[in-house]
Amino acid sequence: MADRLFGIETEYAISGMQGEDPVERQAMVRQLLDLARRTLPHVNDLSSSGLFLENAARLYLDCGLHVEYSTPECVNPWDAVRHVEAGHRTMLRLIEGLAQEREPELETGIFRVNVDYSGTGSTWGCHESYQHRVPDDVLPTHLIPHLVTRIAYSGAGGFDPLCSGLRFTLSPRASHIERTISSESTGDRGIYHSKDEPLCSGYSRMHVLCGESLCSHAAMFVKVGATSLVVAMAEAGLEPGKDVQLVSPLNALRTVASDATCKRPLKVKGAGRMTAIEIQRHYLAMAEAHLADEFMPPWAATVCKQWKRLLDLLDAGPAASARVLDWPTKLALFLSHASRRGLNWDRLPFWNAAIDRMSAAMELPPTGEPFPLDAAISGETPIPKIVCEIEAMMRRKGYAWEELRNVLALRAEFLALDVRFGQLGPQGLFTALNDGGILDHAVSGVDNIEHAMVNPPNTGRAKLRGAVIKRIASDMAGEWYCDWQQIFSPVYGRCLDLSDPFAQSESWHDELVREPATTW
């Protein structure tokens, strides 16, 4: 079957200031959801934690007080990117509307970010879901090398949130991945998430939680398109990951995330060493070789063309993709800011390593809080031997503690730049660069965002869900409830069966299809 379903869930960070006082976050997110209920056509979530919108998407409050927007089920990567952007615009209008309702007016911000730099250890998820029919014990083999190495183009970029220094990473979220395979999603997370909540009949669902919220349309398009093709090849029995099995996936993840060249060798079972780009080219070559096969979706050739373009850009070095992908664009921004502020970027690895050694000696947990340099090196230092060894290395290189003090003093500026990059609205740095015509990330066909805010994709059960919600939202919304597989009214005793993900016509019953489920 060529048609494939996938969707993207985005968790947002929000902030509010009333004058000089921060607004309590729990109250703010609940007021935002209340505003959504009052202003957006919807049907209440059957599990009572959110609402389904007229475009068939779901808006709700996830654990950790994260406001989350889940796209409707999409059958092509254009719709996936389009509906992610529709979610961004919906959330931005809600947060702006919330500000206007407060007296005095609230200063608000909403961010597509991936990690919290304040030291809490929190991370915001951008999860993906892919429909498939692959045995549970088969899929990890073929997906894990892909998920590890796709960071080369799908990494959001930023800084290691668990580092007290200033360590650039292609994927801040990677610091929160602790296992190769795990069923957990709020801690002890895995590269491959073994959760399988199908949310439909006849299929399984691969739930990816190691991805990140992205700004670049090109990165989003290839991320979801390439991953769906890898799943399709595994489903067809092609064994796409067989020849690129990583010796240590978790170590490889750390290596890829720390390598702006994307060319550091990774240990591959039976094949020596391969770079992240080479592993991605392996998957791409297999997809290209099977473009004419019946199982391939009609958009496969376009995804492969875009996939190859991104890998070619990455092969040329980060500067070549600095206007196309998230992390290279951020890296260029950070390098420019470092130059203006007199910070020697090339010396950061030395200072980060020094901080790591001192932190370990002082038994400081890796929280990302600023490093207490003066406590470590001044007066009766608690780690005299380590400090003496570092000072000896500094003398050989001509370095001084004052330079590290400058790094730590500027650290907050760089972290703030990263957060502002993903801010929605005109204050966001990505938005400013994009509106200024500086970026080259657009994908032809990702358009009609305003239409997607109020209309579902034109295929499958999402189309039916959106159409029914439009019919009942204005007069009867309070008498109906919805989840991914059904719309149900206890008042009327009627249930729309949406368990078939490719349903083309409405099928009504007198009983619930199944007990409520939570996320697509």
One DSSP character per residue, 367-392 reads: S-PPP-HHHHHSSS-S-HHHHHHHHH
Q: Which of 62, 79, 326, 418 is catalytic?
A: 62
- List, in sequence order, the alpha helices (H) in 398-444: 401-421, 429-435
351 backbone φψ class: left, alpha, beta (φ>0; ψ -120 to 50)? alpha
On the question of a cis peptide bond just before residue 516, with omega within 30 degrees of 0, the verdict is no
Report CA-CA distances (Å) from 485 to 177, 502, 504.
31, 11, 14
pLDDT at 183: 87
Domain ranges of the chain: 1-112+426-520, 342-420
DSSP 202: S
pLDDT at 520: 47
Dihedral, CA of residue 162, residue 261, residue 263 and residue 178, to nearest 10:
10
Report CA-CA distances (Å) from 267 to 276, 295, 323.
11, 31, 31
| Whole-angstrom distance, CA of residue 356 vs CA of residue 341 | 24
Q: Which of 466, 462, 441, 404 is nearest to 166 (CA)?
A: 404
As given in the structure block, the two tokens for residue 478 are 């309070």
Q: Are 343 and 350 in contact (CB under 8 A)?
A: no
As given in the structure block, the two tokens for residue 165 are 């220094």
Q: Are 416 and 429 in contact (CB under 8 A)?
A: no
Looking at the DSSP bridge assignments, the partners of residue 275 are none
Looking at the DSSP bridge assignments, the partners of residue 9 are 70, 127
| Whole-angstrom distance, CA of residue 116 vs CA of residue 25 | 14
Q: How far is CA 301 from the centre of its chain?
A: 25
Q: Are 417 and 340 in contact (CB under 8 A)?
A: no
As given in the structure block, the two tokens for residue 365 are 């947990």
| Whole-angstrom distance, CA of residue 152 vs CA of residue 447 | 26
Taking the CB of residue 253, how many other CB atoms lie within 10 A of it?
Answer: 24
| Whole-angstrom distance, CA of residue 154 vs CA of residue 160 | 16
| 3-class SS of residue 62 | strand
Pairing mode, strands 204-208 and 126-132? antiparallel
Is 440 considered catalytic here?
no
| Whole-angstrom distance, CA of residue 258 vs CA of residue 158 | 11
C-alpha dihedral sign at 241, 247, 250, 252 = negative
As given in the structure block, the two tokens for residue 369 are 């809080």
| Ranges of the chain with pLDDT below 70 | 1-2, 48, 64, 103, 477, 514-520
C-alpha dihedral sign at 306, 160, 28, 421 = negative
| 3-class SS of residue 311 | helix
Please report how the helices 384-397 and 348-361 are oriented relative to each other, as an axis angle in degrees rounded to 10.
170
Find the helix or strand (DSSP H, E) in which 193 lies. Answer: strand 189-193
| Whole-angstrom distance, CA of residue 183 vs CA of residue 429 | 35
Taking the CB of residue 447, how many other CB atoms lie within 10 A of it?
Answer: 13
In tens, the pLDDT along 59-72 reads: 998 876 789 999 99
Longest distance between any two alpha carbons in the chain, whole Å? 81
C-alpha dihedral sign at 188, 189, 191, 196 = positive
pLDDT at 188: 84
pLDDT at 102: 76
